[in-house]
Amino acid sequence: MITPMIKYSFLIYHKEYDSFLTNLQDIGVLHIAEKANEYDEETRKALDRIKHINDALRFLDKRGQEESPENGGKSATDVINDLHSGREEIDQIEQELITLKKDIDKARPWGDFSKEMKEKLKELNLTPRFFTINEKRFNTEWENQYYLEVINQEGGNMYFVIFQQGDQEIDIDAEEVRLPARPLSELEQTYDDKERRIQEINRMFDDYAVKYQKLLREERQRLQAETEFNEAKNHTERQAEDKIMLLEGWVPEDKEQALTGFLEKQDVLYVREETQPEDPSQVPILLKNNKFSRVFQPLQDLFSLPHYHEIDLTPFFAPFFMLFFGFCLGDAGYGIFMLLAVTIYKHTKAKGNMKVYLTMAQWLGLATVVMGIVGGTLFGINLTKVDWTGQFKDIFLKPEQLFYLSLAVGMLQILFGMVIKAANFWRQKGFVYALSTFGWILAILSLIVFSGGDQMGWFKMAEVKTYYNASLIASGVLIFFFSDPKINVFARLGKGVWDAYNVITGVFGDLLSYIRLFAIGISTAILGLVINEIAITFGQIPYAGPLVFVIIMLVGHIGNLLISGLGSFVHPMRLIFVEFYKNAGFEGGGKRYKPFSKS
């Protein structure tokens, strides 16, 4: 749910404004209303510096070193500059190493021609020229025509040098090679020196990761508090020839007491007002959900926060997302492995915000176990064909039943989204604006109940035709005559016809989208079955068979879990953010509640 917000407006004398902001920042509960003022130069520099600190912290955190903070020695600026110069130097060295490697590879077949040797040859008026040719094409007559020396033979190629006398013309059908200016030994030494330099820089990075991450975090916190203070001044309106400062903001209802307690001690004129219905996108959003729904809030953050007068959809899509993920992955064995692995990691290695994501993964693993049992699949094994589980085959759904289940779940979510849409209209605009959506809900339910009941043999259509027609007429009236209560009845009818076309085609397309749940689940099961068959086949190899069997099973099923797990995460998100959000009439665009504080 969305936490109710209370709006406050403050009028402060300019000489007392800085002191008021400092004390307000200590309270840390007011979200300041943003004005369309540009940042000043000081704020831009601070934000740029925070960006560099964040980059440095991400870089150091990846070093994986256990922190042991050190006081003194270096400032945050020194650390950032050292990291920047070190990373730039490594980038430059790595480019140089690429060139050196090419030169070394080119020079290695020829051995080491020192500068001294080249000088002596020059004194003798001899110029070494280097050639390579396929050894089958080498002409031995060349050895009689020129001062030729074979240097090396490898890979079917022959490497030789001809010592040219003065302006002697050399005419042979071989590829001439231009060797690097420096000898091989010098190139190799330079290469080793540069690799050692990279190692030295990396040791410095590791040392900084141990000593200075805390220093950088403290500097970032100081800059953020300073920046927020400057931003608060930037969002202030100046009144009465800059003598009076007007500041506006919102405070969550459950944190208002902290603000009022602070204001009682201040000589400040302020106005408290309930948040008005107009312009809800300006009101900050603070979500407050139960323990289960809160786990799935990161998914909501990937899309958009609701605006202030909308219904928070997190509690409503969370169970569906779980179900969809389990439907797609659909293997009880994968679910058990995922649940155990995540649980162990969560309670041994995980820190901070990572635990929220791991808790979500636990719920998804549990859903996979349940849907794997429903589909009768365990590590690609069809449980209906196993002796000790075959006796429970009646509880396992067949593929065609899973297909219809995916459609049923899709229709359920579409209808649920429409109910939320109607509730949103009722809440924001009034009951009459929700009637058209209620009409669509009634029409769809009528088609499902009456047609389905007739097909299932619960009753005959002729017996209930009067009720069926009455429900369709009632839904038609709601759809066509309440499509937009603001306009006249003829315009409503035209708009209702247009909306009917969009809804009918849209709902049909949305419903077909849910078939992906069945398709992805089946493909996961089939791939798991194929992996098992391949492993069994290669497992019959004499001697090495058991080892090959284990390797194929491990690599195959882990790969299947990773690939299918990715699809099982992405496709349910699409169903939530496209089909469900659309049918729920989600608008979004809310701004996150960000209190003016020092933390």
- Record the tokens describing residue 391, joined without a space: 């006796």
For the residues of 472-521, what is the DSSP string, one character each? Answer: HHHHHHHHHHSS-TTS-HHHHHHHHHHHHHHHHHHHHHHHHHTHHHHHHH
Rounded CA-CA distance 415/503 in Å is: 12
The answer to whether the beta carbons of residues 206 and 135 sit under 8 Å apart is no
Domains of the chain by residue range: 38-100+189-225, 114-178
Amino acid at the residue 343:
T
Exposed, middle or buried by CB within 10 Å (0-12, 13-18, 19+), for 143? middle
Rg (CA), the chain: 37
CA triple 241-226-595, angle to 5 deg: 85
Q: What is the pLDDT of residue 389?
A: 66
Q: Beta 591-592 vs 284-285: how paired, if at all?
A: parallel
C-alpha 573/C-alpha 579 separation (Å) is: 10
- Residue type at 18 in one-letter notation: D
H-helix or E-strand containing 150?
A: strand 148-154
Amino acid at position 291, single letter = K
H or E element in which residue 31 lies: strand 31-32
Q: Is 285 helix (H, G, I), strand (E, B) or coil?
A: strand
Q: Per DSSP, which regions of 231-378 are E strands?
A: 237-239, 244-252, 269-274, 284-285, 377-378
CB-based contacts of 304: which residues, under 8 Å, 6+ apart? 588, 589, 590
Cα(594)–Cα(394) distance, rounded to whole angstroms? 54
Return the number of other C-beta atoms located less than 10 Å from residue 244's C-beta.
15
Instruction: Tell me the C-alpha distance between 502 and 495, whole Å.
Output: 11
DSSP 544: T
Question: How far, rounded to the nearest angstrom, does the alpha carbon of residue 325 sit from its chain's CA centroid?
Answer: 17
pLDDT per residue, tens digit, the chain (599 aa), is: 888 888 888 888 777 788 888 888 888 888 888 776 666 677 788 888 889 989 988 988 888 888 888 776 788 888 899 899 999 999 999 999 999 999 888 888 877 766 667 677 777 778 888 899 998 898 888 888 888 888 888 888 898 988 888 878 888 888 888 888 788 888 889 999 999 999 999 999 988 888 888 888 888 888 888 777 777 777 777 777 677 878 888 888 888 888 888 888 877 788 888 776 566 668 888 888 888 888 888 888 888 888 888 888 888 899 999 999 999 998 899 999 999 999 998 888 777 778 888 889 999 999 999 999 888 888 888 887 777 766 667 778 888 888 988 998 999 998 898 888 888 888 888 888 888 888 888 888 888 777 766 666 666 766 677 777 788 788 778 877 777 777 777 777 777 788 777 778 878 888 888 899 899 999 998 999 999 899 888 888 888 888 988 999 999 999 999 999 999 999 999 999 988 888 888 888 888 888 888 77
Token pair of 576 as six digits: 């939530």
Distance of CA 573 to the CA centre of its chain: 12
For 582, the 3-state DSSP assignment is helix
What residues contact residue 559 under an 8 Å CB cut-off, 6+ apart? none
In DSSP notation, 232-259 reads HHHTPEEETTTTEEEEEEEEEGGGHHHH
- Token digits of residue 55: 């980059």
Distance, CA of 572 to CA of 323 (rounded, Å): 9
pTM value surpassing 0.75: no
Give the DSSP letter of residue 273: E
Please identify which residue in the block is written with the tokens 């709006």: 7
